[in-house]
Amino acid sequence: MAVRTILTAPDPRLKAISQTVETVDNNLRRLADDMFESMYAADGIGLAAIQIGVAKRVLVMDLNPKKGEKEPRLFINPKIVWTSDDVAVSEEGCLSVPDIWEDVERPAQIRAEYLDRDGRLQTLDAEGLLATCLQHEMDHLEGILFLDHLSKLKRSIALRKLAKAKRLKETG
Ligand code: NI
């Protein structure tokens, strides 16, 4: 396993549309393990493969990484098959948009289908943080960042903040 570099906006690779996984094999499981390690190393709760530059429909998540017991979740080729009419607003952040947190509105409940680590089809009903995180990560598969859900003004302020933070880091 290896910790991989996480791409940050506005890296154009983050806009790529990820490809469907054809076979869940050991290579794919190795990719997932690298994703988990990279996510834990960065103190994140979710990561899409494209964030480490791999355009495959693979997501990892752990909503409980700091409370001792790990709860790793892997989603391969996830698909939302139902969304509620109710919406929920939650504050979101992203490892590819460091240090920026903004409110995003999304369906409050969803039902998703995906393949697990053994390539078996699973169904999941989600609400709360799980629903938010899954929708956020699935957006990455379409090249969408949570910033794209904000008003133009809020997005450009966030991107400027991000560029400034990057410059400061580079100049030390
Ligand atoms: Ni993200």
Mean pLDDT score of the chain: 95
Residue 166 has what pLDDT?
84
Residue 120 maps to a domain: yes
Residue 5 maps to a domain: no
CA–centroid distance, residue 157 to ligand 1 (Å): 18
Q: Is the pLDDT of residue 146 over 90?
A: yes
Virtual CA dihedral for 35, 38, 41, 47, nearest 10 degrees?
Answer: -60
Residue 172 has what pLDDT?
64
Model confidence over 74-84: pLDDT tens digits?
Answer: 999 999 999 99
Q: Is 137 a catalytic residue?
A: yes
Residue 3 maps to a domain: no
Nearest to 159, CA basis, from 143, 140, 146, 141: 146
Decide if 11 contacts 5 (C-beta within 8 A): no
Q: List the catalytic residue out of 71, 102, 105, 137.
A: 137
CA–centroid distance, residue 109 to ligand 1 (Å): 19
Q: Categorize the per-residue pLDDT at 144 as very low, low, confident or very high, splitting at 50, 70 and 90.
A: very high
CB atoms within 5 A of ion ligand 1 belong to 94
Find the distance separating the first CA and the last CA of the chain, reported in whole Å. Answer: 30
Residue 19 has what pLDDT?
98
Residue 65 has what pLDDT?
63
CA–centroid distance, residue 139 to ligand 1 (Å): 8
CA–centroid distance, residue 23 to ligand 1 (Å): 25
Residue 167 has what pLDDT?
86
Nearest to 100, CA basis, from 49, 163, 52: 163
Residue 64 has what pLDDT?
85
Domain enclosing residue 120, as ranges: 12-171
Model confidence over 117-130: pLDDT tens digits?
Answer: 999 999 999 999 99
Decide if 75 contacts 64 (C-beta within 8 A): no
Residue 2 maps to a domain: no
pTM of the model: 0.94
Say how many domains are in the chain.
Answer: 1
CA–centroid distance, residue 167 to ligand 1 (Å): 21
CATH number of the domain enclosing 154: 3.90.45.10
CA–centroid distance, residue 136 to ligand 1 (Å): 6
Model confidence over 148-159: pLDDT tens digits?
Answer: 999 999 999 999
Residue 143 maps to a domain: yes
In the predicted model, what is the mean pLDDT of residues 16-41?
97
Q: Of all residues in the chain, what percent carry a pLDDT higher than 70?
A: 98
Cβ neighbourhood burial of 74 (10 Å; 0-12, 13-18, 19+): buried
